[in-house]
Amino acid sequence: MKKEQQYVSKTTFTSQSGKKGKFDTEEKTINTNRMKKLFVTLLCVFTLLQSCTNDLDTEPLVELSLEELLAQDPEAVSGILSRLYASFALSGPNGPSSSDISDNAGESPFLRGVINLQDFTADAMKNRWGDDGLDQLTTTANWDENNKFFRYLYNRIYYTIPQANNLLSVLGSVDVANKEQVIAEVKFLRALAYYYLIDCFGKGVLATEDNIGASAPLPEASRSELFLFVEEELLAIEASISQDNSYGRANKAAVQMLLAKLYINAEVYIAEAKYSEALTYIQKVIDGGGYTLATDFERNFSGDNQSSPEIIFPLIADAVTSQSFGNTTYIVNGNLNTATIPIGEFGATDGWAGHRSTKAWYGLFGDLETATDDRAALFWTEGHNFEMTDYKEWTDGYPSIKFRNSGFSETLPETPFSSTDFPLFRLADAYLMYAECALRGATGADMGQALAHLNAVRQRSKASTITMADFDLDFVIDERARELNLEGHRRSDLIRFGMFSGGSYIWPWKGNTQQGTSIPETYNLFPIPLQALEANPNLKQNPGY
């Protein structure tokens, strides 16, 4: 069952629901009109408006506080939780042109922000559109507090967090089924939003259910303070969150993966190595999560990837009922163009001619024509140049066809929006994290097992195995690129390996030159957006901006 819980049911929040026809028949069906009203009401609650007009139907809407709403109908919590999950994948309540925040609905969704800031600022992917601000990301140059793409992700983070806070503030005083489980999921989603704040911006304000309604601007919270908060939250909910939540909902393995991500980057975040702690939680995922590597790499990135046994936590997409310009539609369509690619082969009807990979990615496979690695075949080379002489020229560089809207094991129709879920966490990443932690001296690591995990990832794609003589951190960072590029990890990986800023590692168009050049250490964090600084005088800009 693909979408059975993340967006509640096929009649809940029509534009946020799961894939049509993929739901468990025993799952509770919630009346469409009531849930539409509920969603509009929630928008009022979360933005603290005094009144609200229902744009979805003509029946008058009587506004309720969130507490009153749940007191009258405890079952409504399912819809509210669904909407919280959706905040990571969709732009707003009324389809792809609506937005929860005042930013552009197409450009600002959470996942699109992660791809822009994690992949296009790094070595592997470039965008050619020349949008105001996007050039600065793709060339890793001229960053400042006015760039709208920094603002988009920052605003999405601080949209999701207050939603979670409001729900948590009410759950303690109402009687709902599986309350402890619901609270654990809400806290996970809030921690996930804070994780991106820690990783990308390094600081912010610590908003929780305890300071809702504070009259004065909240004080600035340091990276260390935010790290400690997220760590404590995740450790506290690990025991209570379900191991067996349905596909699309956070479970114990998702919590453990987020903890491992936090710990593996701790030396960057708080100047304290926590590779042993990272290994502990990676081991839990590997041993107790029940996940296995998909037998075919492409299965993880196709329109029916709900069938993959490898995906731990996805952000759900659907071409009909959860349309967005910011989920995997951005990745699939952005890498396609009818001028050079038969886009129907990849399940699409639209090609946006925006993204191409660089030789920093496909060069890691050697000669693409003779490489046996299945992943080497996931670049479109026909009609394109190996060298990216001009990042704004569509035919310079190879588009990535790793993500596609076509089915892997079933035939799917060609559609303008993508139905491919985004695998935010998957088992191959856990295997490579284990290998890295072992090489970094994590307590309890087994070097033989670490090598076996890395080779399992390579063997799945028919790449040759390596021996202990070749097993080092340089190989691991390259293997992470071969396996995980375009999945929202690359910038963080390069920073952790000391390869992002400075001039020790150069890639095409780094620092806005074709061959690449050194960039300042300042760029290991993004600037705090000007809008946020103006709204809260307690916030101070990151050094160097």
Q: Which domains does the chain carry?
A: 317-420 (no CATH), 423-499 (1.25.40.900)
Whole-model pTM? 0.90
70 confidence band (pLDDT: 50, 70, 90): confident
* Strand duo 220-221 + 204-205: pairing: antiparallel
Q: What is the mean pLDDT of residues 475-479?
A: 98
54 has a pLDDT exceeding 80: no
- pLDDT confidence of 63, banded at 50, 70, 90? low
pLDDT confidence band for 481 (50 / 70 / 90): very high
pLDDT at 16: 25
User: Do residues 432 and 483 touch, judged by C-beta distance below 8 A?
Assistant: yes
SS (H, E, C) 210-228: HHCCCCCCCCEECHHHHHH
Q: Is the pLDDT of residue 415 over 50?
A: yes
Summarised one tens digit per residue, pLDDT across range 259-287 is: 999 999 999 999 999 999 999 999 999 99
Identify the residue with better confidence: 398 or 10: 398
Other CB atoms within a 10 A radius of the CB of residue 80 amount to 26
Top pLDDT among 387 and 3 is at 387
Contact assessment for residue 414 and residue 344, using Cβ atoms and an 8 Å cutoff? yes
Better pLDDT: 530 or 40: 530
**pLDDT higher than threshold 50 for residue 32:** no
pLDDT at 76: 85
Torsion angles phi and psi, residue 515, rounded to 5: -85, -10
Residue pair 6/249 in contact (Cβ under 8 Å)? The answer is yes
d(CA 383, CA 386): 10
pLDDT category of residue 33 using cuts at 50, 70 and 90? very low
Distance of CA 13 to the CA centre of its chain: 22
**Residue 295 pLDDT more than 50?**
yes
Q: Check pLDDT > 80 for residue 533.
A: yes
pLDDT range class, residue 23, cuts 50, 70, 90: very low
Amino acid found at 198: I
Segment 498-513 shows an average pLDDT of 98
90-148 pLDDT tens trace: 999 889 999 999 999 999 999 999 999 999 999 999 999 998 899 999 999 999 999 99
What does 228-258 look like in DSSP terms, one character per residue?
HHHHHHHHHHTTTS-SSPPTTS--HHHHHHH
Rounded to an integer, what distance in angstroms lies between the CA atom of residue 524 and that of residue 223?
13
- With beta carbons less than 8 A apart as the criterion, state whether 417 and 281 touch: no
Helix (H, G, I), strand (E, B) or coil at 368: coil
No. of H helices and E strands in the chain?
Answer: 18, 6
Average pLDDT, the chain: 89
| Banded model confidence at residue 74, pLDDT cuts 50, 70, 90 | confident
Per-residue pLDDT tens digits for 391-402:
999 999 999 999
As a whole number, mean pLDDT of residues 438-452 equals 98
Q: What are phi and psi of 283, to 5 degrees?
A: -60, -40
Least confidently predicted of 52-61, 84-93, 404-413, 456-465: 52-61
- Per-residue pLDDT band at 75 (split at 50, 70, 90): confident
Tell whether the model's pLDDT for residue 53 goes beyond 80.
no
With a cut of 50, say whether residue 12 has pLDDT above it: no
Taking residues 299-325, what's their average pLDDT?
A: 96
CA 121 – CA 499 distance, rounded (Å): 13
Distance CA 543, CA 545 (A): 6
Nearest Cα residue to 336 out of 398, 393, 281, 429: 398
Percent of the chain with pLDDT strictly greater than 70? 88
- Work out whether strand 311-315 and strand 422-426 pair parallel, antiparallel, or are unpaired: antiparallel
What integer pLDDT is reported at residue 235 of this predicted model? 98
CA–CA dist 158, 152 (Å, integer) = 10
Predicted confidence (pLDDT) at residue 56 exceeds the cutoff of 90: no
- Who has greater pLDDT, 272 or 17? 272
The three-point CA angle 86-88-90 to 5° equals 60
Cα separation of 445 and 283, whole Å? Answer: 9
Orientation of helix 252-264 relative to helix 223-237, angle to 10°? 150
pLDDT, position 176: 86
> 427-438 burial, b if ≥16 CB within 10 A, otherwise e?
bbbbbbbbbbbb
Cα–Cα nearest to 356, from 531, 124, 194: 124
Torsion of CA 428, 433, 435, 438, to 10 degrees: -160
pLDDT of residue 301: 98
Residue 419 — very low, low, confident or very high, per pLDDT cuts 50/70/90?
A: very high
Measure the CA angle with vertex 259, ends 256 and 231; round to 5°: 130
Give the lowest-confidence range in 45-59, 195-209, 232-246: 45-59
Residue 348 pLDDT greater than 50, yes or no: yes
